[in-house]
Structure 1
Amino acid sequence: MLITKKLACCIALAFSTLSINAQSFTIEEQRLDKATKVIPAITSALSDRVNLFIEQINKANNLTVLSQLSIRHGKGIWTDAKLYFKNTNHYDDRPLYWARLQMSKALKQTKAFKESLPDQQSKLLWQFEIYSRGQTDVKFDQYTTKRILVTGFDPFLLDRNIKQSNPSGVAAIVLDNLVISVEGQSAEIETLILPVRYADFDQGMVEELLTPYFRENPVDMIITTGMGRSKLRIRTFYRIKTKCTFT
């Protein structure tokens, strides 16, 4: 998937506004201590990847190595989350969410990260974000007649309920790379997960992320899913010839 320069700049700015500086922990990362006590089985579900990542980044002696590890394990944790579902049949997005926070928190504590410039830190954190959310994994390479992009969101309202999941994130994990066939037509589904942070929304993250799929890529439908107050909310954008329609 193509990440535009404007999007990268917007998110880097949004990321930096979440805290006084990139080395301080975000509100989400600060919830880790409580989460590990209340839902230990969930926060440790992807611990193999998390522990390997922490071990390797603590040995990194420069920003280049740290960047390479962030990309490798960002991709890896997204894949691990999907494998976790396939192996356990647990419809749960929380292992990925809490694993990502453990990894980003550990990243900030490394020597190589602390010695980097603030702009470099923000870029590194955002790089890890997009890879771990499946945002670079959207490929559409199954040669189907239709292409569908589905987006989900992180859990939120965690101060009210630290056990909270988000069914839209579950949908993204479960449906990624799925090929379906209906009445002689096939469709490939690719997915990604978005954060629930007002700073990102205010910077136009969703618009910047989805617009290229309408303008540059032959995507037939984009389905945005989100957790409403009492049910899963779905919005669909679909293409008719050269026009995009919203329902």
Structure 2
Amino acid sequence: MLKPCLAFILASTVAQTAGAVQLLGDVEVSRIPTAEKVMAEVVNRYQALDEGLANQLSAQKNERDATQLAARQGHRLWQQAVRDVQSGHFDDRSLYWARLSMLNSLKNNSANFKMVDWQQQILASAVEKASRGFSDIQYDDDVQIKIFLTGFDPFFLDKDISQSNPSGLVALALDGFKFDINGKKAQIETAMIPVRFEDFDQGIIESLLSPIYRDPKTQFV
């Protein structure tokens, strides 16, 4: 279930970046076959979640249900990637490639109603935001010091398709981490940011960080 207190972050940014996801995501998706040849185990680690999205999409009869499915599967992907890294599987790449596989599944599978292009883009953006942890930002009620960190997708993949990004790995490793600072309870929450200029131009950082900056308990970003 998506965490309700930050659900508005997902909603406020879905439409804003839908076009960027559709246009620029296609470039990234086109690299999947090459990546599978080089590191199939990495690319297909979360294949079950991708297949679950594809299989359930055909049963969705309206835009709301289809969007909720896309967001739910994206959220599950984020949570699984966090669990894997925090249990010792130190690799951020599977999250990236699974997200692209989900976008590809949305493009190649149909819901049980006629969708126009902008509706398909909304589903793609729902997967993007949820699988990046945007709907998973929630601090415990007793936390006195809130810390928010971002990681970034792998990039320069045309030079090295197996590229990782240490910042993404750190973000997955530290998501939800709790500790004390001079007797005060602190907690880290994280999210993953795409490396696409279009997203930045359309305000993805501002949409994500505005509510975080407004919280007086936020001390480090």
TM-score of the superposed pair, with normalisation by structure 2: 0.88
* Count of matched residue positions in the alignment of Structure 1 and Structure 2: 215
Q: Deviations over 1:82-124 (max 9, x none)?
A: 122234x122110111111111100111122893122212212
Q: Distance in 1 between matches of 2:117 and 2:200?
A: 22
Q: Distance in 2 between matches of 1:217 and 1:75?
A: 27
Percentage of matched positions with identical amino acids: 36
Q: Deviations over 1:139-187 (max 9, x none)?
A: 1125122000111111110000000001111111110111012332221
Q: Compared with structure 1, are the counterparts of its residues 38 and 107 closer, same or farther at alpha carbon in structure 2 (3 Å cutoff)?
A: same
Aligned to 1:195: 194
Aligned to 2:70: 70
Q: Distance in 2 between matches of 1:61 and 1:160?
A: 42
Q: Which of the two has greater helix per residue?
A: 2
TM-score of the superposed pair, with normalisation by structure 1: 0.79
For the aligned residues, what is the CA RMSD?
Answer: 2.2
Superposition pairs for residues 18-29 of structure 1, below 5 Å? 18=24, 26-29=26-29
Aligned to 1:36: 36
CA contact 2:14–2:129 (8 Å) conserved in 1: no
Larger radius of gyration: 1
Aligned to 1:242: none
Deviation at 1:16, TM superposition (A): 4.4
Q: Which of the two has greater strand per residue?
A: 1
Q: Distance in 2 between matches of 1:7 and 1:69?
A: 17
Higher normalized contact order (CA 8 Å, seq sep 6+, divided by chain length): 2
Following superposition, which runs of at least 4 residues in structure 1 exceed 4 angstroms of deviation?
Answer: none
CA contact 1:46–1:99 (8 Å) conserved in 2: yes
Aligned to 2:16: 10
Aligned to 2:51: 51
Q: Distance in 2 between matches of 1:17 and 1:55?
A: 24
Q: Match of 1:55, SS?
A: helix
Q: Deviations over 1:215-236 (max 9, x none)?
A: 25632211xxxxxxxxxxxxxx
What letter corresponds to residue 66 of structure 1 in structure 2?
Answer: A
> Structure 1: which 5+ runs fail to align?
19-24, 223-247
CA contact 2:102–2:127 (8 Å) conserved in 1: no
Q: Say whether 1:154 aligns with 2:153.
A: yes
Superposition pairs for residues 198-209 of structure 1, below 5 Å? 198-209=197-208
